[in-house]
Amino acid sequence: MEHLIGLLIVVLAVSGSGFAADTGGSAGIGAVLSESRSYAVPAPQAGPVPPAIPANFPSFSRKVPRKLRRQVLEDLAFIQTVEGSDATPLHKKIFGPAPVNGRTYLNFFTSHVKSITVGDCGGGPSAIACVLEEAPKQMRLGAGYIEFDCPQIARLDTLFHEARHTETRHDGWPHAICPTPFKDEQGNDVRGLFSGKLMAGLDACDSTPFGSYGFSLIMLKNIQKFCANCTEKVRMDAGFYGDDNFRRMIGKKTRKAIKEDIYE
Ligand SMILES: [Zn+2]
């Protein structure tokens, strides 16, 4: 039986103007999470001409369609162009000295992910991406990742989220189960933005800033805050998806630490 680390599943939005993604994850390598994330309306991305991808880039399996390879390469080529003016303390803890720097992001990716393939992530056709216990350095992109249009930043959010799950020395940073009931700070039920699905009880949360959600959140919010050469659209998307990740952060101490780091 295949074991999943950090499954992402999408659920089509009724409105058709966006879609919700429900992420599966689990209590450790081998369990399947279930969480909700949403992607905003697709938009073309503009940015500087990307430099060449390094020779140590993860290999693609033969199953990966050419169009998808190109998209992944373009997305990662873009991320390595990011230049920031500073970085928050948690970002420094994860990525090293300030400022935000795209080459550091790309190095993180290429040092963690050794190959990229496509296939079933166990969540049916809506599964976005996963890392399997049997191949902890391989990222598997599901039909949900391939078929749905979404902003470049949302795809990068997924790629880096999964890259974090390859850290076997941390058991792949297993997600935490969202509490039941799961209320936001205004007392409202936390739901998937587009699916409207209640997130209470799903393996869709993190209780540490260093798990996949917190990690992506810190990266994206630092891009929003400090990227000096990003378009307004990129910074806006980074903020949007970073904020969505923040909704999944549980535990007073963890939320406080992230708030103090990036929101205050
Ligand atoms: Zn995950």
Considering only residues 9 and 130, tell me which one the structure prediction assigns the higher pLDDT: 130
Mean pLDDT within 141-169: 92
Q: Say how many Å lie between the CA of residue 48 and the centre of ligand 1.
A: 30
pLDDT band at 146 (very low <50, low <70, confident <90, very high): confident
Mean pLDDT within 103-109: 95
Q: Say how many Å lie between the CA of residue 13 and the centre of ligand 1.
A: 21
CA 203 to CA 210: how far, in whole Å? Answer: 16
Q: Say how many Å lie between the CA of residue 210 and the centre of ligand 1.
A: 12
Assigned token pair, 102? 């795209």
Contact (Cβ atoms closer than 8 angstroms) between residue 246 and residue 59? no
User: Using one digit for the tens of pLDDT, what is the confidence trace for 185-234?
Assistant: 899 999 976 677 899 999 889 999 999 999 999 999 999 999 999 999 99
DSSP the chain: ---EESEEEEEE-SSSS-EEEEEE--SSTTS---EEEEE--------PPPPPPPTTPPEEPTTS-HHHHHHHHHHHHHHTT-BBS---HHHHHHH-SSS-BHHHHHHHHHHH--EEEE---SSGGGB-EEEETTEEEEEEE-HHHHH----HHHHHHHHHHHHHHT-GGGTT---BPPPSS-B-TTSPBPB-TTT--B-TTSS-BBSSTTSHHHHHHHHHHHHHHHBSSS-HHHHHHHHHHHHHHHTTB-SHHHHHHHIIIII-
Domain ranges of the chain: 4-40+49-176+186-263
Of the chain, the percentage scoring pLDDT greater than 70 comes to 78
For residue 162, the SS3 value is: helix
pLDDT at 29 over 90: no
Amino acid 82 reads: V
pLDDT at 130 over 60: yes
pLDDT value of position 16: 24
Contact (Cβ atoms closer than 8 angstroms) between residue 26 and residue 166? no
Q: Say how many Å lie between the CA of residue 76 and the centre of ligand 1.
A: 19
Q: Say how many Å lie between the CA of residue 6 and the centre of ligand 1.
A: 3
pLDDT at 97 over 60: yes
pTM: predicted TM-score of the whole model, two decimal places? 0.81
pLDDT value of position 12: 29
Q: Say how many Å lie between the CA of residue 31 and the centre of ligand 1.
A: 11
Contact (Cβ atoms closer than 8 angstroms) between residue 219 and residue 160? yes
Mean pLDDT within 2-6: 52
- Please give the DSSP secondary-structure letter assigned to residue 41: -
User: Using one digit for the tens of pLDDT, what is the confidence trace for 164-192?
Assistant: 999 999 999 999 999 999 999 899 999 97
Q: Say how many Å lie between the CA of residue 23 and the centre of ligand 1.
A: 7
pLDDT value of position 17: 24
By mean pLDDT, which of 44-53, 79-88, 148-157 is the weakest? 44-53
pLDDT at 40 over 50: no
Q: Say how many Å lie between the CA of residue 246 and the centre of ligand 1.
A: 14
Mean pLDDT within 241-257: 96
Q: Say how many Å lie between the CA of residue 130 and the centre of ligand 1.
A: 8
Interior CA angle at 63 toward 62 and 68, to 5°? 100
Q: Say how many Å lie between the CA of residue 160 and the centre of ligand 1.
A: 10
Listed ranges 69-73, 147-151, 187-191, 259-263; the one with the highest mean pLDDT:
259-263
